[in-house]
Structures are given as structure tokens and as C-alpha cells.
Amino acid sequence: MTSLFGELDYAVEAQDVAAAFEMLSRYPKDRVFVAVVDGGVAGLIAFHLTPLLHDPLGLGRITALVVSETARGRGVGGLLVAEVERFARTVPCRRIEVSSREYRQAAHRFYRNRGYQDDDRRFLKHIEPAAAMAAG
């Protein structure tokens, strides 16, 4: 799966992915779905439910969707999104959000074709984890 993330220019280590899977397994409303084509991992999607104080259904979020270059255009991504949407209805949640870097125009078309709408009201701040600050 690290090679899939590499296709999105994310350098991740196998042990970090394994640790993330272990952590996510403790949260029954979070899921990672994997697509297998011809015996190999062709794609994955990660879904998380964030509880909200103002909405008892919470907010669903797709935090990763990647399909291997060799499997693109074969419907794998669409099937993964459909599976997340099916799961989100059972959690349940009222809406699903996903972010995508500005230059990923093909991804933007992909989401729009599935009924996702642009929303420009997102703010982001990078912070140093406490452990990194203590070590520095």
C-alpha cells in the first residue's frame, strides 16, 4: 500500500501505515476499503467519522483515495467511493467531505461526476506535534 501512496507523492513507511491501520481498527465508524484486481491491491479508500456537537450524525470524511496507475479508468475508484457512501449511510452521517490538492484536476472531475460539490471555506494551519517541539 505504500506504493499506492507513492503514486500520490506521499512518502510513507510501511510501519507507519501498519500503525495507522492498527489505530483505526479501534474505531468502528472509521474504515479502510481495499480493492483487489487480478490478485493485487489496485486501490484503497479511507473513511473517518468525526462526531460533531451540533449534529448528532457527525461528518464523514474521505482522507485517502488512491487507485494504482495500472487500474485507473477501470471503475475501481468509483466502486471504492460507492462502498464508502454505502458504509456512511449505515454509520450514519449526513454528509461526506473530501479535499484534493488544487493541481489534481482529474480528481476534481472524478468527485464532481459523483455529485460532490466545490466548497471553498476551508482553513488549514500546520503545527508542530508536541513531541517534535520537545525534541527540538
Boundaries of every domain in the chain: 2-135
Question: Pick the residue with more confidence: 30 or 18?
Answer: 30
Residue positions counted in the chain = 136
* Residue 54: pLDDT over 70: yes
Q: Average the pLDDT over 41-54 and give the result.
A: 93
- Going by DSSP bridges, is the β-strand pair 59-67/95-98 parallel, antiparallel, or unpaired? parallel
* Residue 122: pLDDT over 80: no
What pTM was estimated for this model as a whole?
A: 0.82
Q: Is 66 helix (H, G, I), strand (E, B) or coil?
A: strand
Q: Average the pLDDT over 81-89 and give the result.
A: 96
Can you give the pLDDT at residue 65?
Answer: 92
What the block records as the C-alpha cell of 64 is: 485517502
Cβ atoms within 10 Å, residue 35: 20
* Residue 126: pLDDT over 80: yes
CATH 3.40.50.2000 fits 2-135, yes or no: no
User: Residue 112: what are its φ and ψ, rounded to 5°?
Assistant: -60, -40
